[in-house]
C-alpha cells in the first residue's frame, strides 16, 4: 500500500469487512468527586471485542471562547495565570457556561465583556473545540467577535487579567514558533488567519 | 481608547502601575484521587490581592501527538471512539508518555507506529499544546512526521482504531467548517497548512 495514497486505510483490532461498531458501552460507574468546576467518574465499559476496560472521565459543564477581531488586523488576548499549569498564559477570552442550558452566544458576549470590556456587533460560530477528549468531556464553543466597541472590563472576583490588543500576524507567527501553548488560542488564531486568507470572513 | 489599537491594554483587579505579579500560590492541598491515567487535586491558593480561592486541578503524565505528512498533500488520521465525549473522533495519532521521563520524540515514534504502522525519517517539533489549562495540566508535545514508510499497526489491547490517509486540504476545509472538534487535530492541521503556505516545511 503506498504511503499517503488517499483512501488508504488500516483497521486494527477489528475485522476489515464487517466494520465493527467502535462504541464503548457503560456497564457500571461511580462518581468519585463532584466539585465546583468539574466532577470525576470511573466507569467500566464493554469494548467492541466484548472485553471490558476502565475509563477515568472528567465531566465539565461546558465553556466558550471568543477571538475578538477589529477588522484592521488586530485581535484581543488576555494574560492570565493558570494555576493548573503554573504559568501565565496568553489566551483568547474564555469562560464557563453559567449553566448547561445557557446559550453559548450569551456566555460568549458575557465573557468577552467581563475580560476585555468589549462588546461586539456580531459573533461568528467557529464550531466546537474539545481540548482533551480522551479524558475530559469539556466542550468549548468557539466564536469570532467582529464589530468591536470598547468598554469597561468587570472580571470575576478571583480573576486577575491583563487584556491587550495585538496584531493577528504577530500571534500567528508566535503560534507557528510554538510559543502559544494554549490549544484553543492556537486554533482560533490559525482559524481566523485561514478564514481571512480564503475570503471567508 | 481606540478598539484594536495595538498595545492598547486594560488591567483589571490590579494596579495599573505596579504590575502586580499574577501568580497564585499554593497554601494547602489534598489529592482526592489517583488513578491509572490522571489524578485529581483540590488546592487552596492565595490570590494576588491576598484573598484565597480553591482550585480543582487534574494532573496527567503528559502526552504526544503527531501529524504524519507524506510530502504529497496527504496526512494520516485515526478514527477512534472517545468514551468521555461519547463519539467517534477523527484525530491525528496521539498517546500518553510511558513515564514522565520518556523523551517525547520516542513516544511520538511509538504512538505513530502503534496506531498507523508508519515509521518516519524525521520528526519536526511543533511545540506544546495545552488542551484545557484552567483545570488540566496535561502537556501534549506536538510533532509533524515526514519521510513516511508504511508498516503494520499494533495498537494497545483496548484501542480500536481506523487509520487512513486523507488529503490535507480536505482536513483544512473540514476544520474551517467546524467539523473537526478535536482541538489538537485542528491545531496540527492548520499549523501544517500555514507552515507549507509560508515555506516553513
pLDDT tens digits, residue range A166-181?
A: 999 999 999 999 999 9
Cβ atoms of B152 and A152 within 8 Å: the answer is no
Distance between CA atoms of residues B67 and B148, nearest Å: 11
Q: Which residues of B touch A131 (CB under 8 A)?
A: 131-132, 136, 183
pLDDT at position A16, please?
Answer: 41
* φ, ψ (nearest 5 deg) of residue A59: -110, 140
| pLDDT for position A158 | 78
CB distance B142 to B65 below 8 Å: yes
Give percent of chain B above pLDDT 70.
90
Nearest residue of chain A to residue B160 (CA atoms): A13
**Are β-strands A63-68 and A139-149 bridged in parallel, bridged antiparallel, or unpaired?**
parallel
Q: What per-residue confidence (pLDDT) applies to B1?
A: 39
Closest by CA to B168, choosing from B102, B73, B31, B86, is B73
Which residues from chain A sit within 8 angstroms of residue B133, using beta carbons? 82, 84-85, 89, 91, 181-182
Confidence of residue B13 (pLDDT cuts 50, 70, 90): low
Decide if B149 contacts B120 (C-beta within 8 A). Answer: yes
Its ipTM equals 0.92
Give the global pTM.
0.92
- The single residue listed with the C-alpha cell 513515564 is B99
Write out residues 12-71 of A within 8 Å (CB-CB) of B.
12-14, 20, 22-24, 26, 32-33, 35-38, 40, 42-43, 45, 47-49, 51, 53-58, 60, 70-71
Taking only Cα atoms into account, the Rg of chain A, rounded to an integer number of angstroms, comes to 20
Interface of A with B in 165-184 (CB under 8 A): 165-167, 172, 175-184
CA distance to partner chain A, nearest, from residue B59 (Å) = 8
CB contact under 8 A, B160 and A49: yes
First-to-final CA distance of chain B? 40
Of B84, B176, B187, the CB nearest to A57: B84
Residue B88 has pLDDT above 60, yes or no: yes
| Average pLDDT over every residue of B46-52 | 93
Please give, rounded to a whole number of angstroms, the shortest distance from the CA of B156 to a CA of chain A. 9
DSSP A114-167: HHH--EEEEEEEEEEEES-TTTB--EEEEEEEEEEE-------TT--EEEEEEE
CA distance A60 to B159: 24
Q: Which residue of A has its CA nearest to B10?
A: A163
pLDDT, tens digit, 9 for 90 and up, residues B134-192: 999 999 999 999 999 999 888 887 788 999 999 999 999 999 999 999 999 999 999 99
**pLDDT for B15:** 40
3-class DSSP state of B196: helix
Q: Measure B42 CA to nearest chain A CA, in Å.
A: 9
- Report pLDDT for A159: 80
Contact assessment for residue B84 and residue A58, using Cβ atoms and an 8 Å cutoff: yes
- Give contacts of B 147-166 with A, CB under 8 A: 148-150, 153-155, 157-166
- Record: contact B190-A191, CB cut-off 8 A: yes
pLDDT per residue over A113-146, tens digit each? 999 999 999 999 999 999 999 999 999 999 999 9
What is the DSSP annotation of A63-131?
EEEEEEB-SSSEEEEEEEEEGGGTEEEEE--EEE-SSTTS-HHHHHHHHHHHHH--EEEEEEEEEEEES
| E-only strand ranges, B20-105 | 25-34, 38-46, 52-60, 63-68, 74-82, 87-91, 94-96
Residue A2 has pLDDT above 60, yes or no: no
Distance (Å) of CA A125 to CA A6, A128, A201, B20, B40: 30, 9, 12, 35, 32
Burial of B124 (0-12, 13-18, 19+ CB in 10 A): middle
Who contacts B58 (Cβ-Cβ below 8 Å, separation ≥6)?
A38, A40, A58, A84, A135, A136, B38, B39, B40, B41, B135, B136, B137, B138
- pLDDT 10s digits, A82-92: 999 999 999 99
Give the count of alpha carbons within 13 A of A194, CB side only. 27
Mean pLDDT for the stretch of residues A25-53: 95
When the pLDDT of each residue in chain A is averaged and rounded to a whole number, the result is 91
- Looking at residue A115, its pLDDT comes to 95
Query: How buried is residue A149: exposed, middle or buried, by Cβ count under 10 Å (0-12/13-18/19+)?
Result: exposed
Q: Are A24 and A51 in contact (CB under 8 A)?
A: no
For residues A16 and B74, which has the higher predicted lDDT (pLDDT)?
B74
Average pLDDT (B71-86) is 97
- The reported pLDDT for the residue numbered B158 is 78
Return the closest-CA partner of residue B108 out of B136, B52, B146, B162: B146
Give the number of other CB atoms < 10 A from CB of residue B167: 15
**How sure is the predictor about B2, in pLDDT bands with cuts at 50, 70 and 90?**
very low
Of B5, B131, B191, which is closest to A132 when you measure between CB atoms?
A: B131
Phi/psi at A16 (5° precision): -70, -30
Q: Inter-chain contact B36–A24, Cβ cutoff 8 Å? A: no
Among candidates B33, B53, B82 on the partner chain, residue whose Cβ is nearest the Cβ of A134: B82
Q: How confident is the model at residue B18 (pLDDT cuts 50, 70, 90)?
A: very low
Residue with cell string 465539565:
A60
Amino acid at each position: 500500500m503506498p504511503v499517503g495514497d488517499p483512501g488508504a486505510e488500516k483497521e486494527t483490532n477489528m475485522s476489515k469487512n464487517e466494520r465493527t461498531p467502535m462504541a464503548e458501552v457503560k456497564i457500571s460507574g461511580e462518581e468519585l468527586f463532584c466539585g465546583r468546576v468539574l466532577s470525576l467518574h470511573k466507569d467500566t465499559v464493554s469494548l467492541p471485542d466484548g472485553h471490558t476496560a476502565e475509563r477515568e472521565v472528567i465531566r465539565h459543564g461546558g465553556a466558550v471562547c471568543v477571538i475578538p477581531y477589529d477588522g484592521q488586523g488586530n485581535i484581543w488576548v488576555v494574560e492570565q495565570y493558570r494555576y493548573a499549569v503554573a504559568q501565565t498564559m496568553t489566551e483568547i477570552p474564555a469562560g464557563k457556561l453559567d449553566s448547561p442550558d445557557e446559550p453559548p452566544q450569551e456566555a460568549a458576549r458575557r465573557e468577552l465583556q467581563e475580560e476585555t470590556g468589549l462588546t461586539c456587533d456580531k459573533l461568528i460560530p467557529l464550531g466546537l473545540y474539545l481540548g482533551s477528549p480522551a479524558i475530559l468531556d469539556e466542550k468549548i464553543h468557539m466564536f469570532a467577535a467582529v464589530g468591536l466597541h470598547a468598554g469597561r472590563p468587570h472580571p470575576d472576583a478571583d480573576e486577575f487579567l491583563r487584556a491587550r490588543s495585538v496584531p493577528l500576524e504577530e500571534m500567528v507567527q508566535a503560534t507557528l514558533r510554538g510559543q502559544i501553548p494554549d490549544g484553543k488560542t492556537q486554533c482560533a488564531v490559525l482559524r481566523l488567519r485561514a478564514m481571512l486568507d480564503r475570503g471567508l470572513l
